[in-house]
A and B are shown apart, each in its own frame.
Chain A
Amino acid sequence: MGDWEFIVGHYNYWIAIFLAMTGLYIVIARGNLIKKLVGLNVFQSSVFILYISLAKVEGGTAPILARGIDIYSNPLPHVLILTAIVVGVATTALGLALVVRIRGEYGTIEEDDIHSQDESM
């Protein structure tokens, strides 16, 4: 396999890696607590895409029971990711709730401003 085929043939991985790195970069580089959560979401989405793309079977259709359909995508990763999405929603909701409380207590959602108040971030 040539380099070109390797790069193009694995395009789903490149997308997942790009999204994961983007997400982690936002988490690390941004001081705004909401933006950090956005980054965390992007990071989690990259894993969803990784799983979904793993399930794809070449030439397969959607995994539904119907006459004349023999090749279909693997439904198991889809189900797993449904669960992971629920977990992600719960994490985001809790994170946002914490940010609301933090803003109530500190009057800011910027990491540096919080740190300058009591060195807690």
Chain B
Amino acid sequence: MLLAHLPALVIVIPLICAPLCVLLRGKDWAFIVALLATWASFACSVLLTIQVMKVGTISYAMGGWAPPYGIEIRLDALNVFILLIVSGIGSVVAPYARNSLLLEHIEERAYMFYCAYLLCLCGLMGVAVTGDAFNLFVFLEISSLSSYVLIALGSDRRALTAAYQYLVMGTIGATFIVIAVGLLYQATGTLNMADIANRLPEAGYTNRTVIAAFAFMVIGAGLKIAIFPLHQWLPNAYTYAPNIVSAFLAATATKVSVYILLRFVFSVFGVEFSFVSLPTAIPLLVLAVLAMFLPSIVACFQTNVKRVLAYSSVAQIGYMVLGLGFVSVAGLTASILHLFNHALMKGALFLVLGAVFYRIGSCNIDRMAGLAKQMPWTMAAFVGGGLSLIGVPLTAGFISKWYLILAALEKGWWYIVVLIVVSSLIAVVYVFRVIEAAYFRDAPDDLVNVAEAPISLLAPAWILVFANFYFGVETSISVGIAERAAQSLMGAG
């Protein structure tokens, strides 16, 4: 029965198709294989989501070895939600690759790109589905190594130094996570995450090994998430990576890392340990608020629009960590919801910039002046994504901020509400700088005859823009899953 093996198939398909891309060589064949593999994974994720929503948690024993001895794939509402985000963005972005790669001068080695892309997808989804702590590290490294390759493919030579920097920081982060896993194994004698959670109370909340493991895990995951001030690798990596890679990684990689933090802090260590016996919430809240403001202000002074969006990503991560720091079902719902909504808006905006780059060869704000006349559809998509990024009503961005504000009010922290609103106003500044240039300024002399972007680039961007508006109005799916995930996270503590 194939359906019973869906939890394994969702990661095995891209894993097997990745070397297939290299074996087939031809850029068309590799493209078709990559496209089919991502779409198949997305189909599996949708089926799994329906299954989880119907019957609750799914447990799958990898290779027939019963957990906790074998590796378990464990899917609850949070897992499938992350799975949906990653595979969904992966399948929207994949068709974009063909035209986008033409421009990055890597067309003749396109099969390498598709291979790394599928491996990255496989690693990210693997992190989302696995129930084994060490397995999680291995999948994380699969995704990280392939994302270093993807970033280094950028046409600017600074892509190389950005990839190198990310490699060093990412490896330190991942190694911190291994140290944490090792210490947890020492304290509990198991690697299965559900099993660790069961045995930790036995080890005791004052156990120094467990506290050290917690510290290593939070810092390690924080490096991968790019929690302010551990975000130094992110702006360069997103700016100089090929456009399609920026779109894919901005929408998925940090989200998966946030998942690791959520899973370990709430499910494995438990609320009791993480927030009652240790004062974790306050530092997280302070860092989150700093992240909401400082990178946003920096974003207002950038001339490269990709860099604006990269700094904005660091700021948006602040909102996710903020919701986490509330330690309530409402706060977690807002956090998880923002994972999803932010993937939609940043994916859309980076795809739009890819289309701009395709025509004018730059993402500089001055070069984009007057572009709305020549590329109306492209710039309209930017406005759509930008409105969602600001959090204007009827967009997905508004929904996540609304829930975040509700969670703050529930706690009675009205000053946090003020901070959320004020930080959104900074987003208005950096988004409107671009819109002002594109709509109200005259084009540079050499850029008066620019054609609209091809449909293969516009369609994926518009699908995501449309999703931003759809999930800004029809919230039952996204809020429903996020709420269930939040309840199970808080309940596990």
Contacts of B161 on A, CB cut-off 8 Å?
102, 114, 120-121
How many Å lie between the Cα of A120 and that of B307 in the bound state?
13
Q: Are A98 and B152 in contact (CB under 8 A)?
A: yes
Q: B172 near A47 (CB under 8 angstroms)?
A: no
Whether the pair B178, A99 counts as a contact (CB closer than 8 A) is: no
Query: Quick check: A43 and B172 within 8 Å, CB to CB?
Result: yes
CB contacts under 8 Å to B, within A1-56, are: 24, 27, 33, 36, 40, 43-44, 47, 50-51, 54
The size class of the interface chain B forms with chain A is 20 to 34
- Contact between B175 and A43, CB atoms less than 8 A apart: yes
Q: In the complex, what's the smallest C-beta–C-beta distance from B107 to chain A, in angstroms? A: 18
Residue of B nearest to A90 (CB): B145
Judge if A61 is at the interface, Cβ distance under 8 Å. Answer: no
- Least Cβ–Cβ distance between B485 and chain A, in angstroms: 29
Query: Is B186 at the interface (CB under 8 A from chain A)?
Result: yes
- Segment of B163-171, B269-277, B283-291 in the binding face: B163-171
Q: Is A57 close to B, CB under 8 A?
A: no
Q: Does B406 contact A (CB under 8 A)?
A: no
User: Given the known A-B contacts A54-B182, A98-B152, are A91 and B167 also in contact in the complex, defined by CB atoms under 8 Å?
Assistant: yes
Beyond A54-B185, A77-B182, is A120–B172 a contact (Cβ under 8 Å)?
A: no
Q: Give the contact-size bracket for chain A.
A: 20 to 34
The answer to whether the Cβ of A94 comes within 8 Å of any Cβ in the partner chain is yes
A36 to B165, CA, bound (A): 10
Confirm or deny: B158 has a beta carbon within 8 angstroms of a beta carbon on chain A: yes
- Indicate if the CB atoms of B171 and A98 lie closer than 8 Å: no
* In contact, B158 and A118 (Cβ under 8 angstroms): yes
Consensus secondary structure, chain B interface: helix
Cβ B157 vs Cβ A47 within 8 A? no
Give a binary string over B146-181; 1 marks a CB under 8 Å from any A CB, 0 the rest.
Answer: 001100100001101111110110011001001100
From A47, A101, A120, A121, give the contact of B175 (CB < 8 A): A47
Neighbouring A residues of B171 by C-beta, 8 Å: 40, 44, 91
Contacts of A71 in B (CB 8 A): none
A82-121 contacts to B (CB < 8 Å): 83-84, 87, 90-91, 94-95, 98-99, 101-102, 105-106, 114, 118, 120-121
Q: A106's contact among B149, B157, B179, B182, by CB below 8 Å, is which?
A: B157
Interface pairs A-B: 6 shortest CB-CB: A120-B158, A105-B157, A120-B161, A87-B141, A98-B164, A102-B160
Known: A80-B134, A98-B152. 18 other contacts (CB 8 A): A33-B164, A76-B191, A87-B141, A91-B145, A91-B167, A94-B145, A94-B148, A94-B149, A95-B164, A98-B164, A101-B160, A102-B157, A102-B160, A105-B160, A106-B157, A120-B158, A120-B236, A120-B240
